[in-house]
Amino acid sequence: MDISALLTSAGINTAVCVALFSLYSVLRKQPSLVSVYFGQKLAQASSKRHDPFWFGRLIPSASWIVKAWEASEDELYATGGVDAVVFLRAVVFSIRVFTVAAIVCLFLVLPLNYFGKEMSHKQIPDEPLNVFTIGNVKEGSKWLWAHCLALYIISCCACLLLYFEYKNITKMRLGHITASNSYPSHFTVIVRAIPWVKEESYNETVTKFFTDFYASSYLSHQMVYQSGAIQKLMSDAEKMYKMLKSTHMEKHCVPRLMRCGICGGTATSFKMLSNEPKSSRGESFFDGSDMRKKECGAALVFFRTRYAALVASEALQSPNPMSWVTDSAPEPRDIYWSNLCVPYRLFWIRKIAVIVASIFFVIFFLVPVVFTQSLVHLDKLKKIFPFLKDIGQRKILEQLISGYLPSVIFIIFLYVVPPLMLVFSTLEGAISRSGRKRSTCIKVLYFIIWNVFFANILTEAAIDHYQVSIKKLGDAKHIPNLLANAVPATATYFMTYVLTSGWASLSCELIQPFALLCNLFYRYILQNKDDSSYGTYTFPYHTEVPRVLLFGLLGLTCSILAPLILPFLLVYFVLAYLVYRNQILNVYVTKYETGGLYWPIVHNTTIFSLVLTQIIALGTFGIKESPIASGFTIPLIIGTLLFNEYCRQRFHPVFRKTPAKILIEMDRKDEHCGRLEEIHQKLQSVYCQFRSKSLNLHRTLDQNTTETVLDCTETVDVARLEDLEQNTPGKRSI
């Protein structure tokens, strides 16, 4: 592949990008698509623009770019939460590092590579790309110190930036914990693996255990029910509702039954609800003795203070570590109910099964990777398989096949991965949606780094060695040398990958083809004109974080070896910055978040990329016979690893445990303000296991009040709850 092929690819991609960005700027102005492109705004306010047509709707504009640029971090924090800010910080971090890297490498390293060997240069467009890589520098060259210097500058710069980002994000995480005054999760502990005692329901066992051992801090609890059985009841209730619909019931009656009917700790509370008008038939569904049979060995236990909940969640409760397993609870919206019902003793074997399945999946996935990568090396393949020579006759076709097609095929294959990994993470037993997404993110990251980066490099090495000779296999015995040989050679593929996968994925992200198709399907095939009925999406961290990190890895490893990739990457990151800001502000709804837990992933991956870059550089300097440059690289590797260890000691514990000091201070403040009692009352009804079902019902009931649906957990009617409290004296267990 030469410069002109690269430029062809870049041209196609730029054109596609500009077209799609313009298309987006038009589409977003269509009132009918407001639910696709303004999910976030729609969730915040139910106001709609009702101007049917104005001319500007059809003219592409760049106003969204300006808006995305101008938004402050506070605004982003308010709409996207800590995770969104962390993600954008990762993008900003990449922009900063690659700006430095681009300046250093394009002005210092690139000329040295280009003039590395005494040779007659062609005109630049016809120049093959490997002239710009370190492969062009002759052995024993004195100019390799410049590469080493560039490596030092990039590494130090990256480490410094990482340190300050980690520090800031730790502060942000702590701030997030303190700022959230009435997060119910702080007071709640999830207990799983409740032992089965004969002639006692799980409910009684939990009450006994916690009144016995946590008498002073235990408030109440709420059992988790087998979802299968209850959901059947719910659908029955729904049918009944539809039957009764024509009689024009009082608004909000049924959904309230659904929302709070099952949440309240003990079976007695169900009977209390029968006081509600018109819901007298509901009583027969929720019979106490019946519910007892449906109880799972899991419960949500509420404590009087945050600190008590923290202590209970961290301690090993029982001498048998497989019973009374406690974890800090996720937020009500974040909790993943169906995994709570799974017996705890199955999780260890599920986890192992998932690991094994993931490994098999990764192995199986090498097939498309190898196929894809081999297309890039069409010229090499032609020598091996002569029948391919016909294709080579038409130059444009060849450029298209080697420059564009591989990435496209590969991307299509890659679309299968995140949903599958999400299923794996669910099976693994995540108890929160955010935790599941984070676990998926890690799996996709491993997958993508292995299958995109290493598999490509190894395929390259294998094909390359087939072509050159068996002799080189001896040289490449050591991994650094193998990598050092293969990375510059694979840089071409990575450049096209950045262009296609990177730039195109951003356009895709903007246009939201899936949501758009859904919208059209609903609107024109189902004839359903309501905007709020296809739901909103949360930010897909599990696909976007690995993607950004992969590009970081590609950029760092290629930086000093094949610096030509850096401008394309910089463009990608700047576009990503704008696009993701726009998406966070307008499209995605933040229903749950991890509170910055993505940063350790970003940090560790960046350190991995840095060390890998340094190891590859070490191998390259070895091949190029420059002992001084090699010698100087080793302390850099050691320094980077030490820096990582320091960060792990200094910042990481805060991401695993919540500091006791902060929670104690929050408890005190609440006690001082007399707010604790109010929070305790809220707690009783805030965790609703069958909320999602009731939400759907709610929607069918009252299609215009989307905001009440989305604020369901926050807008609990305190006065009504107090009435309930008075009617259920046995509910509080102390």
List residues binding its own copies (CB under 8 A): 170, 174, 213, 310-311, 314-322, 348-349, 352, 642, 645-646, 649-654, 656-662, 664
Interior angle at CA 438, CA 434 and CA 444, nearest 5? 140
346-354: long-range contacts, CB 8 A cutoff, minimum separation 24: 347/428, 347/429, 350/427, 350/428, 350/429, 351/428, 351/429, 353/427, 354/424, 354/425, 354/427, 354/428
How far from 130 is each of 383, 405, 552, 564, CA to CA, in Å?
20, 21, 21, 10
Output 57 or 652, the one with its CB closest to its own copies: 652
Q: Please report which helix (H) or strand (E) contains residue 543, including its range.
A: helix 541-559
CB of 5 to its own copies, least distance (A): 40
Q: What is the nearest approach in angstroms of its own copies to the Cβ of residue 223?
A: 21
Would you say 395 or 650 has its CB closer to its own copies?
650
Sheet holding 295-303: strands in order across?
A: 218-225, 295-303, 188-192, 325-328
654 vs 659: CA distance, rounded Å: 7
Q: Are strands 295-303 and 188-192 parallel, antiparallel or unpaired?
A: antiparallel
Strands (E) across 295-365 are located at 295-303, 325-328
For its own copies, the closer of residues 154 and 329 by Cβ is: 329
> Cβ of residue 304: shortest distance to its own copies, in angstroms?
14
Nearer to its own copies, 416 or 642 (CB): 642
Q: How far is the CB of 661 from its own copies (least distance, A)?
A: 5
Smallest distance, its own copies to C-beta of residue 308, A: 10
Tell me the closest approach of the beta carbon of residue 297 to its own copies, in angstroms. Answer: 16
207-213 contacts at long range (C-beta below 8 A, 24 or more positions apart): 207/733, 209/324, 210/301, 210/733, 211/733, 211/734, 213/317
Tokens of 580: 């993701």
CB-nearer residue toward its own copies: 657 or 720 = 657
Residue 536's SS3 state is: coil
Q: By C-beta, is 127 or 314 nearer to its own copies?
A: 314
* Residue placing its CB nearer to its own copies in the complex, 202 or 539: 202
State the minimum distance, in angstroms, from the CB of residue 269 to its own copies. 29
**Nearest CB to its own copies, comparing residues 645 and 714:** 645
Minimum separation from the CB atom of position 199 to its own copies (A): 22
Where does residue 363 rank: exposed (0-12), middle (13-18), buried (19+ CB within 10 A)?
Answer: exposed
Give the whole-angstrom CA distance, residue 321 versus residue 578: 48
Q: Rounded distance, CA 574 to CA 91, Å?
A: 8
CB of 204 or CB of 645, closer to its own copies: 645
CA distances from 552 to 236, 292, 339, 461 (A): 52, 53, 34, 22
Q: Where are the beta strands (DSSP E) in 117-207?
A: 188-192
Contact between residue 330 and residue 187 where contact means Cβ atoms under 8 Å apart? no
Residues 260 and 682: beta-carbon distance below 8 Å: no
Cβ at position 633, least distance to its own copies in Å: 18
Q: What is the DSSP letter of 329?
A: P
| Least distance to its own copies, CB of residue 631, Å | 18
Q: C-beta of 194: minimal distance to its own copies in Å? A: 14
The smaller minimum CB distance to its own copies, of residues 214 and 690, is found at 214
> Which residue number, 52 or 319, has a Cβ lying nearer to its own copies?
319
Q: Identify the residue whose tokens are 């490498």.
A: 105
Is residue 696 within 8 Å of 339, Cβ to Cβ? no
